Amino acid sequence: MIREKSLKIIPLGGLGEVGRNMTLLEYNEAVLIIDMGLKMPEEDTPGIDYIVPNINYLSSLNKQSNGWRNRKQKNILGIVFTHGHYDHIGAIPYLIEKIWSPSLQFFASPLTRGIILKRQEEFPEHPQLKINEIKHGSIIELGPFRIEFFRQNHNIPDNFGLFIETPIGNILHTSDFKFDLNPVNELPTDFQKLRTLSEKKILLLMSDSTGAEENGHSLSEKTIEKNLEEIFQRSSGRIIAATFASLINRIQQIIFLSEKYGRKVIIEGYSIKNNMEMAEKLGRIKSKKGTIIKGKEIENYPDSKITILCTGAQGENQAVLMRLAQKRHARLRLKSGDSIILSSSVIPGNERTVQALKDAILRQGVKVFHYKMMDIHAGGHAQEQELKEMIKITKPKFFIPIHGQYSMLVAHAEIARDTGMPEKNIVIIENGQIIDLTPKTIFIKRTKVPSNYVMVDGLGVGDVGEVVLRDRHMLARDGMFVIVAVVDKQSGKVIGSPDVISRGFIYLRESKQLLKETRQQVIKIVDQAVTSGGTINWIYVKDEMRNKIGQFFYSKTKRRPMILPVVIEV
């Protein structure tokens, strides 16, 4: 019996987490990549800049001993990008060299293309990317895949869902989306297009789950604009609006309201300036002549006529708003009468940082408006009511919830069951698992591909692993203690008193008795470890110092600092 051919669906990121979105579709060794995003660091990844997907499966780094055939770059047909948020495009500079070839094709909307290319300017050593522009209704063919792009509302313009025709059936990938009948700066959801696509029979729906745990319907951008206007009406001082640099629609709203109430707009922040410049060229942001002024012109206008647009609503340390809150900004200072708008929800994991930011601002007598006080931010993700509607419109045979923490995926699966989908046709998967899809069946294979975190730290990509993170946690928790012992290589005896250096463990001046006992312990350990007349194993000696001094410190302090023994032979 000839086995029916199947399509593999392999998420490398974005499932069981928020961010790092990247999914592979593979048919007969031909691979299509959807998105290539990053994830912001968390509290348990100290010192890390970004987290990106593991693409060993694609970059021919897997050995046959791991159970995988080496992948050749020519099998990767192309990369399609749904929209311009960094959790969907941000990993490109860190991964693209591993899979790039002259034949690799890229497809993105004009705005997404502009954001990608602008960022690539920061990496001049990388290959130049030639990105094909697509628009609503564009159709491309890549090997066995025929992809149609269709407009979806989000909180950034030029966001597209994907209708993918494959040899085993049609797949609809929603991208991040919400149903907004009154959006700002873009057209409303094209429900007729969704119904037309559903008439082609959708084998599998892959749908955004980020808002699956929220009841009801997401807020319209028009509602947000109305509430923002209330702040403009009330404020007699400067308005400082902080949002994501990629939230083009919100930036446009702030500019429009500033013009309506006779305010000049100052743009502060590298990323937001870059996005503004690029979006203006594409006609995605419009302003009247003279509305945008330079920061140094602020003294020419009363406070009631000034709006400052900046980044930093998530409490990022080097962002403009945090520098203002901590009085570190080169030119600007907060003052009583200012009104600060935090026009973004808090990304999970940033709660304490954002709280500290708000407290620092409020201590300076400044008003703070945030989404918990009034509806001044709308997430770009469909909630329960919209997710049900998407399933009912598209009528898929199979369903996979994508984009979200595991609890979000589970909540979305429950929503699908509520619409009447059979349990056996709903599959919850996580990063690295392989879905095997045929016209009649869907199941998770036993084998997995690597999908662990790849961490970006400065110029290093992937050179910080679990061992390094463990050491950083240890240093943060209990500090470090360095012991320097000078030893006579003939006798094996310690010369003089060992030097000690403490960082984050104890304050040396206040711990003289502990240091005296520590030095005595070091001398004793070296004496016991060294046998006269034979070759001295200094590796063994240092291991003994590390282990026994560690036990000694724990008995005295109940702390376990990282101990670094240094032995100098003379």
Give the active site residues. 208, 381
Residue 60 φ/ψ region, left for φ over 0, alpha for ψ in the -120 to 50 degree band, beta for the rest:
left
- The residue type found at 407 is S
- The identity of residue 216, as a single letter, is G
| CA torsion through residues 180, 181, 186, 192, sign | positive
Give the C-alpha separation, 379 to 394, whole Å: 23
From residue 414, alpha-carbon distances to 16, 399, 401, 539 in Å are 16, 11, 10, 57
**β-sheet bridge partners, residue 148:** 139, 163
The pair phi, psi for residue 358, each rounded to 5°, is -60, -45
Distance CA 291, CA 76 (A): 46
Contacts of residue 516, Cβ cutoff 8 Å, sequence gap at least 6: none
Q: Which helix (H) or strand (E) holds 294?
A: none
Question: End-to-end alpha-carbon separation of the chain, Å?
Answer: 77
CB-CB neighbours of 239 under 10 Å: 27
Query: What is the spatial distance between Cα 7 and Cα 13, in angstroms, rounded to a whole number?
Result: 19
Distance from C-alpha of 10 to C-alpha of 451, rounded to nearest angstrom: 10
Write the single-letter amino acid at 460: G
Handedness of CA 222, 226, 231, 233 (dihedral sign): positive
Alpha carbon distance 95, 117 (integer Å) = 15
Rounded to an integer, what distance in angstroms lies between the CA atom of residue 309 and that of residue 58? Answer: 40
How far apart are alpha carbons 431 and 24 in whole angstroms? Answer: 11
> E-assigned strands of 458-561?
460-464, 480-487, 499-503
Task: Mark 344-367 as b/e (b = at least 16 C-beta within 10 Å).
Answer: bbbbebbeebbeebbebbeeeebb
Query: Would you state the torsion angle of the CA atoms of residues 234, 235, 236, 240, taken in this order, to the nearest 10 degrees?
Result: -170
- At 224 the three-state DSSP class reads helix
DSSP output for 98-156: HH--TT-EEEE-HHHHHHHHHHHTT-TTSPPP-EEE--TT-EEEETTEEEEEEE-B-SS
Q: What is the DSSP secondary-structure string of 315-370? A: --TTSHHHHHHTT--SS----TT-EEEE-SPPPTT-HHHHHHHHHHHHTTT-EEEE
* DSSP-derived 3-state class of residue 473: helix
Gap between the Cα atoms of 391 and 528, Å rounded: 73
